[in-house]
Structure 1
Amino acid sequence: MGWNSWDCFGTTVTEAEVLANARFLAAHMAHVGWDTVVVDIQWYEPTARAGGYNDGAPVLIDDDGVQRPAPGRFPSAQDRLGLAPLAAQVHALGLRFGIHLMRGIPRRTVEADLPVRGTPYRTGEIADRTSTCSWNSDNYGLDLEHPGARAWLDTQVDRVVGWGVDLLKVDDMLAPYHADAVEALAGAVARAADRHGRDVVLSLSPGTDLSLARLGHLRRHATMWRVSDDLWDRWEDVEAQLGRLARWAPHQRPGAWADADMLPLGRIGLRAERGGPRDSRLTVDERRTLLSLWCLARSPLFMGGDLPSTDPATIADLVHPGLIDVLHHSTGGAELVREGDLVVWGAEGTGPCAGTRWAGVFSTADAPVQVRVPAAAAGLAPLAPGGAALLDVVDVWTGAGVPVDPAGAVTGGEAVLTLDVPAHGVRLLRLDPPRPPGGAPA
């Protein structure tokens, strides 16, 4: 859980903007687990601009060919300190610090033909010039059959982890799937983390058309991995994640998380890749659909909007205790029903929420609908045997009780929920352990 600079600042985020968001996160969101601040792509590009990438960008590199921060945007990085001073300021707030890298080696490093530290090789001989990214021209791939390539990768990863990096997001890894690069990177991260005594989260992107056939490999080599291309503030982007997460959610487990991408919520597009400055175009109901789905599927949550200028209602949803319970204290999140515009998810409680069950009743329809859903089909326990207990269902977002029609439950029928669901909306329901009539929970 944390904040990422991409949706609001694109390639151009500054140190001051990172710290403003870090301070907001620490003051208003860390108490429910929002604890990581990530500087996304091209922190090393002094001519970065909104709306895309510069071909042949003058990427800044150090004497080893490792990227170094653009000093005009990161003034504390003077004197070859890298991002260590910024990381220290983020850590002083009680937060974790992350950065973005691209797969491979900067083209400028290859062209400079620098010595590879600790080897007889030079950077001009360790690149795979045929392996390039289709949407960013900063790097070549590494020729990982060459021992100098792995040595240079170790130098790069050790350098940035030594700055105090707790999360490393590496792009152009999964589409197409570069298994050799994933393995080499994971090894370099493990060695650097051990040398510096740090726990480092490895996040891989993007996940366009990522297949479940890669699950075992991903679990062995990464902490989290994207399952889609970039997600923006469009309903069609959110709706598409219903199907993707239905495939991936049953396989979630600690230390190995399928990631549905950052949250394009609040104030976004200030200097982003797509669109101009705006409040997220998702409606309130679409926003709550997104958040409910991500939490039921236990996706990582990274806020993409500029926190200090985001509206209070969005911030309130991000820290809603009932929602956070689903993320932190549920298991088994899965799609249970898909019929036309109706999609139903369920999950079970763990830890302090043991015995609790959640259901997400989603509608992809363009207008409000009323649906009748059997409680059992929604994963909510029916009346206890003999009808001795009551279904006590609450709407997580509003806190209001939800009427349940128990007709026929005692004689073998089904208790039924009748729900009004907004357009593109959700009713996120919570059922706590049954209680006897008029009594405390059983």
Structure 2
Amino acid sequence: MRRGYFVVALLMSVRVLAQQPGVASKPPMGWNSYNCYGSAVHEDEVKANADYMAKNLRYGWQYVVVDFLWAYDNPPGSLIGNPFQKQLQDGAYIPWLAMDAWGRLVPNTNKFPSAFGGGGFRPLSDYVHSLGLKFGIHVMRGIPRQAVWAHSPVLGADGITADRIADTTSICPWMNHMYGLDMRKRGAQEYLNSLLKLYAEWGVDFIKVDDIARPYSAAEIEGYKKAIDGCGRPIVLSLSPGETPLKDSTHVVQHANMWRMADDFWDSWKEMLKMFDYAKSWEGVGGPGHWPDCDMIQIGKISKRGPVGPERYSRFTEDELVTHMTFWCIYRSPLMLGGNLPDNRELENKLFSNEEVLRVNQEGAAPRQLYKQDGSMVWVSEAGGGAKYVALFNISDAEKEVALDLALLGMKKVKVRDLWKQADVGVFKKKYSATIHAHGAILLKIIAI
């Protein structure tokens, strides 16, 4: 029985690798626990979302990511918001984070019981992999303050302890668990190397490093990239949160697979409008292995256990939900679902299961804004064979006609297919136009004839 389990897991893994060769050669697609569980997701909930993805979301969906403070034992009252530790008179911290002898955080066994006995995330990772999916975790930049207090030795750097490599002036403004690393010090890179070797042993395929892109911590980003390159396992490196500085675009392309353009995105039309501007500013930067990230998809049941607002289905209207998915796809942002998948209704499943729409994200090329004026916005990307993917948006507050001059695409006579409806629309000359609801969108494939 056990042997059969691993044979199935191996075959599933081969299938996933065949879909997406290389590291983030296409925008990563998956689920992340933060928007529905904040800092308090439990192992059974991660498994339930993985099960749902494997059964119901076929095309492209791969990653299952445990976000935010998996080493923290959420005490009463800490389920919503950002948990802090308290420092005692002797300098110790409570609650104590789950940590090994080398100052490396490990899963809290109250949340992740399969980690009991020192297995870390390996049992959960094995479970996710057995479904043909990939496994990821969130980490905070730097080194735990409690490791500094405990003078934890650094694996691979004889005689060096955590207090000698920490930059105690480099702190996260919204959580007090970590210090930054002084990458000039011997032992700092060795500490990151030991982290990534541990994550590789756990079978981690994706790490989201927080508090690293704003302010932009170039030396530590380089350290994570070097540690990943040496860990013996392909791992996606995601940087968070934004706004990642545009001036560092060359550096981030060289060292990260995805990075946040903005701060946390939630289910607000005002934030959607702002995201269009962020995306325009990063236009032309994304490509195989490196993707500007619009942040997680705010569709479905969110904030079940915090972190922002009451438990709810997304506040976006149905038209805004279509705009949300359409823009993330035409722009080729990573697609990370934020809602609790087992709570999906038919509406969510239709948005996440339209293969023709998802192909725009996975197979399009060179997305660019064609124009934005008078409440209309049009984006286009290459569909191969001379065809184009075109997204028409009505970003005004009233129903209106959005027009496309085919000459802007270098086309005269075209065949048009509506990808959301999965239906051919017809043949058009010189111009295509459609009446679109307020805050709505249409996604097309246009083929010259």
TM-score (norm 2): 0.88
In structure 1, the partner of 2:242 is: 207
Kept in 2, the 8 Å contact 1:346–1:360? The answer is yes
In structure 1, the partner of 2:113 is: 75
Cα displacement string for residues 115-162 of structure 1 (whole angstroms, at most 9, x for unaligned residues):
222311111222111100111111010121111222222212211221
Q: Unaligned regions of 5+ residues in structure 1, if any? A: 384-390, 407-414, 435-442
Q: What pairs with 1:289-328 in structure 2 (closer than 5 Å)?
A: 289-328=323-362
In structure 1, the partner of 2:90 is: none
Shift of 1:399: 3.4
Q: Could you tell me the percent identity over the aligned residues?
A: 37
1:36 aligns with 2:70: no
In structure 2, the partner of 1:437 is: none
Shift of 1:212: 2.6
In structure 2, the partner of 1:375 is: 406
* RMSD of aligned residue pairs (Cα, Å): 1.5
The CA distance in 2 between the partners of 1:108 and 1:312, in whole Å, is: 46
Kept in 2, the 8 Å contact 1:265–1:280? The answer is yes
Kept in 2, the 8 Å contact 1:107–1:138? The answer is yes
Cα displacement string for residues 255-311 of structure 1 (whole angstroms, at most 9, x for unaligned residues):
111111110110111012101211011111111111111111111101010001111
1:2 aligns with 2:30: yes
Which one of 83, 86, 111 corresponds to residue 54 of structure 1? Answer: 83
Number of equivalent positions: 409
Q: Which has the higher contact order (CA 8 A, sep 6+)?
A: 2
The CA distance in 2 between the partners of 1:271 and 1:91, in whole Å, is: 26
Amino acid paired to 1:382: K
In structure 2, the partner of 1:430 is: 445
The CA distance in 2 between the partners of 1:75 and 1:157, in whole Å, is: 22
The CA distance in 1 between the partners of 2:426 and 2:229, in whole Å, is: 52
The CA distance in 2 between the partners of 1:380 and 1:93, in whole Å, is: 45
Shift of 1:404: 6.5
In structure 1, the partner of 2:263 is: 229
Shift of 1:364: 1.2
The CA distance in 1 between the partners of 2:263 and 2:367, in whole Å, is: 22
Q: Please, which moves more after superposition, 244-253 or 160-169?
A: 244-253
SS at match of 1:270: coil
Kept in 2, the 8 Å contact 1:404–1:418? The answer is no
In structure 1, the partner of 2:421 is: 398
Kept in 2, the 8 Å contact 1:249–1:298? The answer is no
Q: Unaligned regions of 5+ residues in structure 2, if any? A: 1-28, 86-94
Shift of 1:12: 0.4
Shift of 1:380: 6.9
1:163 aligns with 2:202: yes
Kept in 1, the 8 Å contact 2:394–2:402? The answer is no
Kept in 1, the 8 Å contact 2:216–2:245? The answer is no
Shift of 1:53: 1.9
TM-score (norm 1): 0.89
Q: Please, which moves more after superposition, 90-99 or 142-151?
A: 142-151
Shift of 1:403: 6.1
Which one of 150, 162, 185 corresponds to residue 146 of structure 1? Answer: 185
Which one of 109, 117, 134 corresponds to residue 155 of structure 2? Answer: 117
Shift of 1:401: 4.5
Kept in 2, the 8 Å contact 1:264–1:305? The answer is yes
The CA distance in 2 between the partners of 1:127 and 1:345, in whole Å, is: 45
Cα displacement string for residues 214-251 of structure 1 (whole angstroms, at most 9, x for unaligned residues):
12111211111111111111111122111111222322
Cα displacement string for residues 201-222 of structure 1 (whole angstroms, at most 9, x for unaligned residues):
11111112x2332121112111
The CA distance in 2 between the partners of 1:293 and 1:347, in whole Å, is: 12
Amino acid paired to 1:122: T
Amino acid paired to 1:392: K
The CA distance in 2 between the partners of 1:214 and 1:226, in whole Å, is: 12
SS at match of 1:299: coil
In structure 1, the partner of 2:387 is: 356
SS at match of 2:189: helix
Larger radius of gyration: 1
Q: Please, which moves more after superposition, 164-173 or 145-154?
A: 145-154
